[in-house]
Structure 1
Amino acid sequence: MTVIETPDTVQRAPAKGRILDTANELFYQNGILTVGVDRIIAQSSVTKATFYKHYRSKDNLILEYVRSRRASVEAQVRSIIESAPSPDSALLGILESVAGKLTAQDFRGCPFLNVVAEFPHPTHPARLIIAEHRDWYHETLFDLMRGTGHPFPGEAADEIILAKDGALAGGYAGDTIAAGAALGRVVKRVLAESVNA
């Protein structure tokens, strides 16, 4: 017998998770500064008391949004690396992952660069989380480039990060196909410089 799920039989996500999921969508699609707490409360179907119980302020929710985006990206990159047979194939897997984001229907640029644009002061707590994430990303790429035998793994990691940033920004502002192709050319050129390539 097939059971048809209805709103009454589907277990709802906890309120805190619903709030974060809603903020994740609204902040990314519309910008953080343009989305008010009342809109998040209404769209996540919670009360104002519930919102403030879990997050206390919009500022706390913003930080949780940035942390959740960071955790998601880092988990995805780790998964790609763990399943790849070699450092160069891991790099190509990361490239494919970024290129895939460019063509997603809800693509609106790099979430981290978007946050940086909205919070220009480098000591803002959200900016500090992003700085830590970028350091992690650079170290990860450095380790992969060293694994390929690249003579200058730090410089190679710099180039790939800059190309990734450019593809995500340029892909949102213009031609996603051209941005992905340019990113691919940079990664493949950098890999070709490796001793083990």
Structure 2
Amino acid sequence: MPSPGRSAPRDHLLTTASQLFYSEGINSVGVDRVLRQAGVTRATLYRHFAGKEALVVAYLEREDQMIQAIWSTGLGHAVSADHALELAIEGVATDAHRHHTLGCPFIKAAAEFPDPASPVRRVIGEHRAWFRAELRRLLTEARRDDVDAKAETLAMLRDALMVGCFLGDPDAIRRTFVRNARWVAGLR
């Protein structure tokens, strides 16, 4: 079923493009391949997106929305500020270990779109700003000191986790991330 206010062809096209972009890389997947795989016409693409870059932006915006929804649902079970930090750390670890096994879609897209002024990099920057703000909020609510430095460190650890799960032993990387993230967050 399409999202409210969206068409089934648009959602199908975006789902197909998202799967291809994530698994094979954005620049290595041409528009013709996306159209062929989705079974839609070029007119359908241009009816919903101005071009490939707009499709990439929509892919990353959708990733961001899904991550934010999972984040808020997961943290909705917290019984304390420390518990919220624990749930956040476990949620990030689980996401990398189970759902983003090929790395972070935002880091991968940033590597393919080096222009910091591009619409793609804008979406990436917004996602990363949201994540850091959420970390600062959780650390502040847990009454930690030096929340800016700790939030930056936790964000950096997440980046390492996402890349590490793709390149190395996901179980070992997950354990290392959780141990170090708990330490940075002041969890015993």
TM-score between both structures, scaled by the size of structure 2: 0.90
1:155 maps to which residue?
149
Distance 1:120 1:170, change over 3 A: same
For 2:58, the equivalent position in structure 1 comes to 64
Cα separation, 1, equivalents of 2:140 and 2:56? 35
Residue number among 177, 181, 184 corresponding to 1:187 in the alignment? 181
* Structure-1-length-normalised TM-score: 0.86
Task: State whether residues 101 and 165 of structure 2, in contact with CA within 8 Å, keep that contact through their aligned partners in structure 1.
Answer: no
Q: 1:20 aligns with which of 4, 10, 14?
A: 14
> How far apart, CA to CA, are the structure 2 residues paired with 1:88 and 1:41?
47
For 1:22-171, what aligned pairs fall within 5 Å after superposition? 22-104=16-98, 107-171=101-165
Cα deviation for residue 190 of structure 1 reads 2.0
Q: Report if aligned partners of 1:112, 1:130 keep a CA contact under 8 Å in 2.
A: yes
Q: Deviation string for 1:138-176 (max 9, x for gaps)?
A: 111101001111111111111111111101111111121
The answer (yes or no) to whether the contact 2:136–2:148 under 8 Å persists in 1 is yes
Deviation for aligned residue 1:18: 0.2
Aligned with 2:16: secondary structure?
Answer: helix
Letter of the structure 1 residue corresponding to residue 184 of structure 2 = V
Query: What one-letter code is carried by the residue in structure 1 that aligns with 2:117?
Result: T
Q: 2: distance between equivalents of 1:70 and 1:28?
A: 14
Residue pair 1:168, 1:179 contacting (<8 A) in 2 also: no
State how far apart, in whole Å, the 1-side matches of 2:107 and 2:80 are.
30
Equivalent pairs: percent with the same residue? 32
Please tell me whether the aligned partners of residues 89 and 182 of structure 2 are also in contact (alpha carbons under 8 angstroms).
no
Q: Please tell me the root mean square deviation across aligned C-alpha atoms, in Å.
A: 1.9
Once residues 42 and 115 of structure 2 are traced to their aligned partners in structure 1, the CA distance between those partners, rounded to angstroms, is: 30
Q: Alpha-carbon deviations, 1:47-102, whole Å to 9, x = none?
A: 22212211131111011111111111112112222221122222222222222233
How many corresponding residue pairs?
184
The letter of the residue matching 2:104 is C
SS in 1 for 2:114: coil
Counterpart amino acid of residue 135 in structure 2: L
Report the Cα distance in structure 1 between the residues aligned to 2:81 and 2:181, rounded to whole angstroms.
12
**Against the structure 1 CA distance between its residues 127 and 188, is the aligned structure 2 distance closer, same or farther, given a 3 Å change threshold?**
same
